[in-house]
Amino acid sequence: EAQVTQNPRYLITVTGKKLTVTCSQNMNHEYMSWYRQDPGLGLRQIYYSMNVEVTDKGDVPEGYKVSRKEKRNFPLILESPSPNQTSLYFCASSLSGGALRPQHFGDGTRLSIL
Amino acid sequence: GNSVTQMEGPVTLSEEAFLTINCTYTATGYPSLFWYVQYPGEGLQLLLKATKADDKGSNKGFEATYRKETTSFHLEKGSVQVSDSAVYFCALMPYNTDKLIFGTGTRLQVFP
């Protein structure tokens, strides 16, 4: 089954404790992206990647890192999480960027930073 | 800049009622427009899209027409079902980019 898989689905942690949210897709997609969803703000892009070893900042990259060492994986790293990073996070992928290739979303990761 | 404005929810309807969720946008050039749906506990799924002016996207009984003159992309369905209860996001992708810009989402609740 074609899918985007995120782990963990839920995490409660404390300020300053490094964490990684994994994202993996099995569709051989070139493009991958991370979003955060906050009430009243919709989804905002954190980082995206057009291909292996190519990443770029989205609208809200502060406090996050990503890497794209393999096509299928695009982990999101919070080196020193803070409470304002409490949010619902989504990973998405598409065959290539652009409007003709729909983005497929994972089921989300709910992070709570205390 | 580029932005999307959606009507605030929740929108509460009885089954078989007519649905409209308003969406207007601001963009330079000719963006592509999308509606995504998010069911409880799930990620977003593409519902429909339109890539140029006057295009009509449709899927599962939902429709939206790309109106450049009014910069709108309103979502409509003639007869909603309880299973349509979800959060609906309008989004745009500026021309020649890969970036999706989302509205704030509108929650739809359909009661039997």
Read off the pLDDT of residues A9-49 as tens digits, 9 standing for 90 and up.
999 999 999 999 999 999 999 999 999 999 888 899 999 99
A43 contacts B44? CB cut-off 8 A: yes
Q: With H, G, I as helix, E, B as strand and everything else as coil, classify residue B82.
A: helix
B100: nearest CB among A41, A103, A107: A103
B30-80 pLDDT per residue, tens: 899 999 999 988 889 999 999 999 999 999 999 999 999 999 999 999 999
Q: Are A81 and A12 in contact (CB under 8 A)?
A: no
Measured between CB atoms, does A100 come within 8 Å of chain B? yes
By CB atoms closer than 10 A (0-12, 13-18, 19+), residue A87 is buried
CA–CA min distance B91, chain A (Å): 10
d(CA B70, CA B54): 11
Q: What are phi and psi of B54, to 5 degrees?
A: 75, -5
Give the list of residues 6+ apart from residue A57 with CB closer than 8 angstroms, or none: A47
With CB atoms and an 8 Å threshold, state whether A99 touches B42.
Answer: no
Is the CB of B57 inside 8 Å of chain A's CB atoms? no
Query: Which of helix, strand or coil describes residue A84?
Result: helix
As given in the structure block, the two tokens for residue B38 are 């998010």
**Judging by DSSP bridges, how do beta strands B44-50 and A31-38 pair with one another?**
unpaired
- The distance of B14 to chain A (nearest Cα, Å) reads 25
**3-state class of A78 per DSSP?**
strand
- Identify the pLDDT of residue B35: 97
* Range in A8-17, A78-87, B91-100 the model is least confident about: B91-100
| Residue contact A41–B89, C-beta within 8 A | no
Q: What stretches of B8-112 show up as alpha helix (H) in DSSP?
A: none
Least CB-CB distance to B104: which of A42, A58, A106?
A: A42
Cβ atoms within 10 Å of B78's Cβ, excluding its own: 11
Average pLDDT, chain B: 94
Model pLDDT, residue B28? 85
| Cα four-point dihedral sign A49, A33, A94, B2 | negative
CA distance B112 to chain A (A): 27
Q: Is B32 on the interface with A (CB under 8 A)?
A: yes
β-strand pairing of B11-14 with B106-111: parallel
Chain-centroid distance of CA B50 in Å reads: 11
Please state which of the ranges A102-106, B80-84, B96-100 shows the lowest mean pLDDT. B96-100
- B9 or A2, which is more confident? B9
Portion of chain A with pLDDT greater than 70, in percent: 98
Q: Which two tokens stand for residue A64?
A: 């996050």
Q: Return the higher-pLDDT residue of B32 and A102.
A: B32
How far is the C-alpha of A68 from the C-alpha of B20, rounded, in Å? 40
